[in-house]
Amino acid sequence: MRRRSLLSAALAAPLATAGAVGALQSPAQAATWYTEDDWGKWTDGAYTVNNHVWGSGAGFQSAWANSYSNWGVYADHPNTGGVKSYPHVAYQLGRDVWNMGNVSSNANVTVPSGNNLAYCTTYDVWGNDHDYEIMIWTQYYGAVGPIGSYVTDVNLGSQNWAFYQGSNGSNAVYSFLARSQSTNSWVDITAHAQWLVANGRMPRVTIGEIAFGFEITSSTGGYNFTTNSYGVWS
């Protein structure tokens, strides 16, 4: 998967919803699956949990899972620029954007707060393989920001989002940042994808992978990120 992101101070305000500082290690002993492999992955039914450490200058990261809906990572990445990892759970949809049905998702996460932290909790929805990327940020912390420029605010799924559009040099990137951030979120994925097409922002595409996880830029000293529950409804 081609990945990217840019640091920005524009959206650097800390969150009141952020959880407690992570412990010094992940609960590997209790997990059904555990890996320290940067590209480690584990399949549970229609879902795949990925450790996915890909960024330049990344530190240590381990991943664990009891199921696709209960998984997490322990990450210790240096406080430098650039995204280091995107641990996530992936689901393959494979439907035309106008005939994708009512696709929605819910997620409950526990995330850290503290010093030298920068990350976002985000969906990553792909169109036409990896030609078009829709990011839906439900929560973010520290000096992180989306690719591209702010375009407008939009209400989708009875929630308000700040919409940004840009390119990472390989593919178009459309980012929706929640105006009311939450660690217990519900997202109408169909509404986001079809709004882009209806407003001439994105061509009619096949929606393929729907991913959800934590895009981590820095987590110096080691922090836990946990998905307590998760599901895609289609």
Domain at 102, CATH number: 2.60.120.180
Residue-range definition of the domain harbouring residue 94: 28-233
In a domain, 23, yes or no: no
In a domain, 6, yes or no: no
CA distances from 182 to 19, 104, 142, 159, 185 (A): 11, 16, 15, 11, 6
Give the model confidence (pLDDT) of 119-131 as tens digits.
999 999 999 999 9
In a domain, 129, yes or no: yes
In a domain, 96, yes or no: yes
pLDDT at 65: 98
Number of domains in the chain: 1
In a domain, 8, yes or no: no
Provide mean pLDDT across the span 199-222: 98
Locate 13 and state its tokens: 């305000």
pLDDT at 27: 53
pLDDT at 31: 87
User: Beta 132-141 vs 117-127: how paired, if at all?
Assistant: antiparallel
Give the model confidence (pLDDT) of 25-63 as tens digits.
545 456 899 999 999 999 999 999 999 999 999 999 999
Locate 81 and state its tokens: 């620029």
Provide mean pLDDT across the span 82-92: 97
In a domain, 84, yes or no: yes
User: Which residue did the predictor score with more confidence, 81 or 29?
Assistant: 81
Of 212, 193, 165, 211, nearest in space to 95 by CA: 193
Locate 82 and state its tokens: 């650039």
Give the pLDDT band (50/70/90) at residue 213: very high
Question: pTM for the complete prediction?
Answer: 0.88
Residues 6+ apart with CB under 8 A from 88: 49, 50, 52, 124, 211, 212, 213, 214
**Is pLDDT above 80 for 83?**
yes
**Is pLDDT above 80 for 9?**
no
In a domain, 7, yes or no: no
**Cα–Cα dist 103/171, whole Å:** 23
CA distances from 230 to 47, 82, 98, 102, 107 (A): 11, 27, 25, 17, 4
In a domain, 128, yes or no: yes
